[in-house]
């Protein structure tokens, strides 16, 4: 980083000194510009938040009804102390945005978390031309290449149908904000009834109020005692796996949807029946394509396989460097408190990743 940079890392987060605001601060600040509502990007307790109009409802749920939130439509700009600020779709979760900052003819873009494959639950990613691009690299290794989501949804529905025919329930794990709603959007409700964990159902309401079409769901905690769960689909955060709450659905088969499921050992170590490769983050080809589409001559790489991506970009002639942040990558930080290394198969590839884990307790919607 240089003294003339528009953003610089501080103990509170990425600070724009000229505009006196922070982008995705990790501690409370007077003014925060937020890319999206996951807890590693949206800190509770800030004096004022600016987010996309599409994401304001979800952010309000997360930050509480007393939080002061200003909403900006995608593509519209406002000026904060001489800094022209606009928000552009990131395609990560509902309302996720890239933050474009323009000052004295120079343009910076902070990607937040993003993916390039469109889905039914948020506005698709749009590349934004800039001089400096701040990008995530959660899955910044060549081994991470996502199958199309249509194929994955077909696999999930076939698994659910087979479980129903065997007299079992299906417990599908995905992060409460974003991943769960994307999974719900791809389920075939003709197979059976769909139930949700309380943390998921609460956010379903915000998605529906935001105009996202989801199949009918019912809060699992409201079901009558002694109910048969055979044939049902239950969508819950990863923290529900192996808990007494989950065991009440037995007999059941448990699956999880995550980019980490590219590595088979991750599923084995967590004693899951099925792993589905579905991520709300960009994969390796998408990452490189997105960076190229910005036209940026300088790229700052955050959270993930930063050194691998920086080395690759430098080999392509770009000015690239690691930008240290506290963002955590795949999943919702409120859902996760523990990590584990993947198995020897992955270690032979010199891949060390944090596996999906979480701490959510069941909560009523």
Count of the separate structural domains present in the chain: 2
- Cβ neighbours of residue 101 under 8 Å, at least 6 residues apart? 6, 7, 16, 19, 83, 84, 85, 107, 108, 109, 110
Mean pLDDT of the chain: 89
Task: Tell me what pLDDT residue 2 has.
Answer: 75
Whether 267 shows a pLDDT value over 80: the answer reads no
Q: What is the pLDDT of residue 132?
A: 98
**Same domain for 270 and 295?**
no
**Using one digit for the tens of pLDDT, what is the confidence trace for 54-65?**
999 999 999 999
Q: Of the residues 254, 276, 298, which one is the last residue of a structural domain? A: 276
* pLDDT over 50 (residue 332): no
Long-range contacts of 101-106 (CB under 8 A, 24+ apart): 101/6, 101/7, 101/16, 101/19, 103/6, 103/18, 103/19, 106/6, 106/131, 106/132
Structure pTM?
Answer: 0.88
Does residue 79 sit in the same domain as residue 13? yes
Burial 103-127 (b: 16+ CB within 10 A, else e): beeebbbbbbbbbbbebebbbebeb
For the stretch 26-74, pLDDT in tens is: 999 999 999 999 999 999 999 999 999 999 999 999 999 999 999 999 9
Average pLDDT on 309-315 reads 98
| Residue 190 placed within a domain | yes
Same domain, 192 and 305: no
CA distance linking residue 34 with residue 231, whole number of Å = 40
Do 159 and 272 lie in one domain? The reply is yes
342 is a domain residue: no
112: containing domain: 8-140+282-328
Does 350 fall in a domain? Answer: no
Q: What is the CATH number of the domain that holds 104?
A: 3.60.15.10
Average pLDDT over residues 155-184: 98
d(CA 301, CA 134): 6
| 173 located within any domain | yes
Same domain? 116 vs 163: no
Are 59 and 15 found together in one domain?
A: yes
- Angle between helix 56-63 and 198-209 (nearest 10): 140
What is the mean pLDDT of the segment spanning 269-296?
A: 93
Question: Do 99 and 54 share a structural domain?
Answer: yes
User: Would you state the pLDDT for residue 330?
Assistant: 59
Asked, for residue 180, whether it belongs to a domain, the answer is: yes
Residue 236 — pLDDT band, cuts 50, 70, 90? very high
Q: Are 164 and 272 in a shared domain?
A: yes
Per the domain annotation, does 340 fall within a domain? no
Return d(Cα 205, Cα 211) in angstroms, integer.
Answer: 10
Binning pLDDT at 50, 70 and 90, where does residue 263 land?
A: confident
Among 276, 294, 311, where does a domain finish? 276
User: Does 349 fall in a domain?
Assistant: no
**Which pLDDT score, from 0 to 100, does residue 268 have?**
57
Q: Is 331 helix (H, G, I), strand (E, B) or coil?
A: coil
Which residues are CB-contacts of 282 (< 8 A; sequence separation ≥ 6)? 114, 115, 116, 136, 138, 139, 290
pLDDT at 136: 97
pLDDT at 327: 80
**Same domain for 48 and 154?**
no
Q: With cut-offs at 50, 70 and 90, classify the pLDDT of residue 8.
A: very high
> In CATH, what number is assigned to the domain containing residue 219?
3.40.50
Confidence of residue 356 (pLDDT cuts 50, 70, 90): very low
Tell whether 213 and 307 lie within a shared domain.
no
Residues 311 and 192 placed together within one structural domain of the fold: no
User: CA-based diameter of the chain, in Å?
Assistant: 66
Same domain, yes or no: 15 and 124? yes
- Residue 356 resides in a domain: no
């Amino acid at each position: 980083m240089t003294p003339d940079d528009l953003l610089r890392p501080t103990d509170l987060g990425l600070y724009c000194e000229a505009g006196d605001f922070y982008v995705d601060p990790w501690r409370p600040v007077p003014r925060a510009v937020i890319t999206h509502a996951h807890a590693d990007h949206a800190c509770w307790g800030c004096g004022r938040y600016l987010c996309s109009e599409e994401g304001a409802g979800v952010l309000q749920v997360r930050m509480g009804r007393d939080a002061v939130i200003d909403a900006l439509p995608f593509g519209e700009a406002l000026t904060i102390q001489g800094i022209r600020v606009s928000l552009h779709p990131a395609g990560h979760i509902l309302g996720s945005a890239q933050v474009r900052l323009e000052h004295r003819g120079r343009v910076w873009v902070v990607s937040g978390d993003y993916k390039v494959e469109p889905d039914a639950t948020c506005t698709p990613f749009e590349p934004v031309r800039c001089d400096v691009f701040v990008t995530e690299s959660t899955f910044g290794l060549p081994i991470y290449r996502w199958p199309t989501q249509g194929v994955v949804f077909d696999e999930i529905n076939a698994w659910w149908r087979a479980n129903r025919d065997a007299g079992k329930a299906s417990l599908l794990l995905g992060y409460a904000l974003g991943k769960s709603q994307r999974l719900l959007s791809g389920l075939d409700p003709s197979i059976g009834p769909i139930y949700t964990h309380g943390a998921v159902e609460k956010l379903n309401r915000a998605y529906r109020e935001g105009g996202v079409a989801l199949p009918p769901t019912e809060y699992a905690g409201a079901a009558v005692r002694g109910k048969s769960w055979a044939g049902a689909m239950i969508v819950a955060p990863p923290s529900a796996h192996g808990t007494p709450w989950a065991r009440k659905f037995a007999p059941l088969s448990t699956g999880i949807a995550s980019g980490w499921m590219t590595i088979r050992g991750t599923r084995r170590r967590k004693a899951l029946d099925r792993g589905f490769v579905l991520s709300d983050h960009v994969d390796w080809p998408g990452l490189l394509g997105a960076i190229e589409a910005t036209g940026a001559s300088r790229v700052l790489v955050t959270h993930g396989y930063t050194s691998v991506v920086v080395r690759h970009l430098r080999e392509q002639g770009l000015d690239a460097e690691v930008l240290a942040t506290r963002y955590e990558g795949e999943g919702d930080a409120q859902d996760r408190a523990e990590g584990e290394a993947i198995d020897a198969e992955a270690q032979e590839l010199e891949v060390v990743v944090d596996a999906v884990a979480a701490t959510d307790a069941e909560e009523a919607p």
